[in-house]
Every structure is written in structure tokens, then in C-alpha cells.
């Protein structure tokens, strides 16, 4: 059996979360692992008995950056995958791949960062594993976290529940994480106070589900590939159009400036503490007010709506009345962002 994935070698873009990643997943991984549970494009697998399971490996470079480090990123990322799947974390696993020669202080710092992030989220790290590879066979430290969660009793999420007229909420300002990583790599050679947005979105997702139940139709965190990729996946998976009101998307000035300098589309830049929710129009304004009242939700915004025109496309409406097509990420302008 040959697979539909025909790229001769693996390239950085296959890990970027955009079109090349999708080609690898749809062409090779999904057919090979194919089973009833597997939906590799969702954030977590839903298992019988109301359980949710998700896994992520973290290879961010550098290990520490303004606003965070790989340890807390690894915990928040997996908690967020459960959260946007409508689940509450029960337990995490932590598996470390260490490069020989790694300084104890760095390992201590990241282990503490993991423990503190897990404590803040009220989720125990229940088991772990440690491997060591020779110097030059890793890049300091890679972390896998896997999360087991239990579905919120009110959760009724799925692309198949999305219908034209639904509104799209965003939990806060975008592109902070990707730009913070670029600054930490000193690729801009500029001073800035941009900080990664790494955080648990669990309080924000839980509040929506507590209050609105089935009126919350779909949620997804906007990590690799940014909100553009996630909205394209929404348009594709729900077979709908997505209309983005561009001036409604919160972007910090310093982040916008850095993206302009680098020629990056902020919609393609990774976030580590933001998610998108599709909610029924009837509750959208109230749900937004609720998000804004929660600590860390003050920059939440209603950024667009679901349409029955231009299916499988994301259209951006500019402040001047123009319309443009917003594609998912192609290539990998920001490798190893998480």
C-alpha cells in the first residue's frame, strides 16, 4: 500500500500546522491510524464514557522567551486542547527528551514551570518519563504532555453544529506568542515589551459552557498557523463561509509593528493563550460581555460570523469596505514556535 503523501522528505513546513501539515496528516497519518476515534484535526479525541484525550510535543526554540518558557507552554498547550474540546483536565503526563550536557539549572527551571502551571490549573501531573540523547541529537529539551479530561456536562461542540448566522468570538489579542519568540531569537534586533500570551484558557471556556451550554457550538485554540488557519479549518470542516471583520481583531500595536517589519500576516502567527468560539447569534453579545468580565478576557472580541456564501473560504472585510481571501498558512515562516 502506498500513501497519498508523496513529499519525498520531511521539511520544516510539515510541522507548521498549515497546508503541509494537513497533507501529512490527511495523506499518511489518518489513513494509517484510521479508526472511529481518530480525528487528527481536532484538538482532542473523545472517548466512550465522556473522556477526552490529547497529546502535544513541544520543541519551542529558544527554551525561554518573554512571557514564558517551554515548561509552562507544554502544560498550558495541552490543557487548552482539552479546554476547547469542552473538557476539564483530570490528569497530565510529562515526558522529557533531554540533550546530554543540558544544565541542571535549566531543567530545574522548566520542571518547576511545569509544576506551577499544572498547579494553577488544578491538574496533577500524574506520570512521566525521561530519555536522554547525545549532545547534538536534540536542542536542550523537548517535552511531550498528554492530557486526559472529562467532558463538561453542557458541552455539545462540533463543526456539524455550526450554521450560517452564528457569531465568532475571539478570547483576546493575537500574535503575541509568535512575535515574542521572534524577539527572543533576536531576529528583529529591536527593543519591545511584547510577551507571549501563554496561559490556560480553561476559565474562559468553562465560563461559556457553564452559562450557554449548547449555544456554544465550536471552539478551537489558535496555535500553529494562527487564527487564519483555524478559521479555514472551520470553513472546511463545517462547509460554511467565514466572514472576518478585520478591524475587530485585537492586535497589540507593538505586535502589529513587528509583523509589518517582518512581512508577517498576524492572522498566521501562533497564539498560546487565545481561542475562537462559534456561538449562536442570539447569545453572542452576552457571551462576549461575560468573557470580558473574566480575568484575562478583557480584550475578547466579536470578530466575524458564519455565512452560507463563499463556502470553504475565509473572507476578510477591511475597514474601507474591501474584501480579501484569507488563506491558511503555507510554508513555515516561524518554525518551532511551540
Tell which positions 144-173 bind a second copy, by CB under 8 A. Answer: 144, 146, 148
Nearer to a second copy, 57 or 245 (CB): 57
Is residue 14 a contact residue for a second copy (CB under 8 A)?
yes
DSSP 177: H
Range in contact with a second copy (rule: CB under 8 A) among 132-140, 263-271, 311-319, 322-330? 132-140
Which cell goes with 199?
Answer: 496561559
Range in contact with a second copy (rule: CB under 8 A) among 101-109, 198-206, 242-250, 271-279? 101-109
CB of 150 to a second copy, least distance (A): 9
Is residue 133 a contact residue for a second copy (CB under 8 A)?
yes
Whole-angstrom Cα distance, residue 180 to residue 135? 27
CB of 139 to a second copy, least distance (A): 5
DSSP 37: S
On the question of a cis peptide bond just before residue 62, with omega within 30 degrees of 0, the verdict is yes
User: Binding a second copy by CB under 8 A: which of 23, 25, 257, 331?
Assistant: 25
Nearer to a second copy, 96 or 251 (CB): 96
Whole-angstrom Cα distance, residue 177 to residue 335? 13
Whole-angstrom Cα distance, residue 24 to residue 30? 9
Is residue 335 a contact residue for a second copy (CB under 8 A)?
yes
User: Binding a second copy by CB under 8 A: which of 100, 214, 293, 309?
Assistant: 100
Cβ neighbour number for residue 38 with a 10 Å cutoff: 13
Is residue 176 a contact residue for a second copy (CB under 8 A)?
no
Whole-angstrom Cα distance, residue 43 to residue 23? 17
CB of 247 to a second copy, least distance (A): 34
Whole-angstrom Cα distance, residue 320 to residue 73? 38
Residue 166: which of 88, 87, 231, 251 has the closest Cα?
A: 231
Is residue 53 a contact residue for a second copy (CB under 8 A)?
yes
Nearer to a second copy, 104 or 191 (CB): 104
Nearer to a second copy, 67 or 77 (CB): 77
Backbone φ and ψ for 105, nearest 5 degrees, come out as: -60, -40
Residue 85: which of 52, 114, 129 has the closest Cα?
A: 52
| CB-based contacts of 104, cutoff 8 Å, min separation 6 | none
Is residue 108 a contact residue for a second copy (CB under 8 A)?
yes
Is residue 190 a contact residue for a second copy (CB under 8 A)?
no
Q: How many chain residues interact with a second copy (CB under 8 A)?
A: 81
Is residue 330 a contact residue for a second copy (CB under 8 A)?
no
Is residue 125 a contact residue for a second copy (CB under 8 A)?
yes
Nearer to a second copy, 19 or 280 (CB): 19
Nearer to a second copy, 131 or 324 (CB): 131
Contacts by 38-41 with C-beta closer than 8 Å and gap 24+?
41/233, 41/237
Is residue 128 a contact residue for a second copy (CB under 8 A)?
yes
Amino acid at each position: 500500500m502506498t500513501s497519498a503523501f508523496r513529499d519525498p522528505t520531511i521539511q520544516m513546513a510539515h510541522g507548521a500546522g498549515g497546508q503541509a501539515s494537513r497533507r501529512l496528516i490527511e495523506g499518511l497519518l489518518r489513513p494509517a491510524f484510521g479508526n472511529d476515534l481518530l480525528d487528527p484535526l481536532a484538538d482532542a479525541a473523545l472517548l466512550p464514557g465522556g473522556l477526552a484525550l490529547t497529546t502535544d510535543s513541544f520543541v519551542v526554540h529558544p527554551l525561554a522567551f518573554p512571557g514564558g518558557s517551554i515548561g509552562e507552554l507544554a502544560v498550558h498547550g495541552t490543557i487548552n486542547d482539552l479546554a476547547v474540546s469542552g473538557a476539564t483536565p483530570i490528569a497530565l503526563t510529562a515526558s522529557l527528551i533531554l540533550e546530554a550536557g543540558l544544565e541542571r539549572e535549566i531543567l530545574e527551571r522548566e520542571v518547576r514551570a511545569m509544576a506551577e502551571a499544572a498547579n494553577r490549573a488544578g491538574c496533577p501531573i500524574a506520570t512521566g518519563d525521561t530519555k536522554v540523547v547525545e549532545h547534538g541529537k536534540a536542542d536542550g529539551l523537548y517535552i511531550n504532555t498528554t492530557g486526559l479530561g472529562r467532558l463538561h456536562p453542557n458541552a455539545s461542540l462540533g463543526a456539524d453544529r455550526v450554521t450560517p448566522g452564528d457569531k465568532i468570538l475571539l478570547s483576546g489579542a493575537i500574535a503575541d506568542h509568535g512575535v515574542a519568540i521572534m524577539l527572543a531569537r533576536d531576529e528583529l534586533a529591536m527593543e519591545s515589551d511584547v510577551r507571549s500570551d501563554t496561559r490556560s484558557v480553561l476559565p474562559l471556556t468553562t465560563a461559556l459552557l457553564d452559562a450557554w451550554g449548547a449555544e456554544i457550538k465550536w471552539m478551537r485554540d489558535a496555535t500553529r498557523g494562527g487564527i487564519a488557519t483555524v478559521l479555514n479549518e472551520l470553513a472546511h470542516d463545517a462547509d460554511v463561509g467565514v466572514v472576518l471583520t478585520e478591524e475587530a481583531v485585537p492586535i497589540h500595536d507593538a505586535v502589529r509593528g513587528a509583523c509589518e517589519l517582518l512581512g508577517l500576516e498576524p492572522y498566521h502567527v501562533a497564539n498560546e493563550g487565545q481561542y475562537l468560539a462559534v456561538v449562536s447569534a442570539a447569545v453572542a453579545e452576552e457571551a462576549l460581555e461575560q468573557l470580558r468580565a473574566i480575568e484575562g478576557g478583557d480584550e475578547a472580541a466579536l470578530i466575524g460570523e458564519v455565512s452560507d456564501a463563499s463556502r470553504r473560504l475565509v473572507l476578510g472585510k477591511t475597514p474601507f469596505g474591501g474584501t480579501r481571501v484569507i488563506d491558511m498558512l503555507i510554508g513555515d515562516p516561524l518554525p518551532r514556535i511551540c
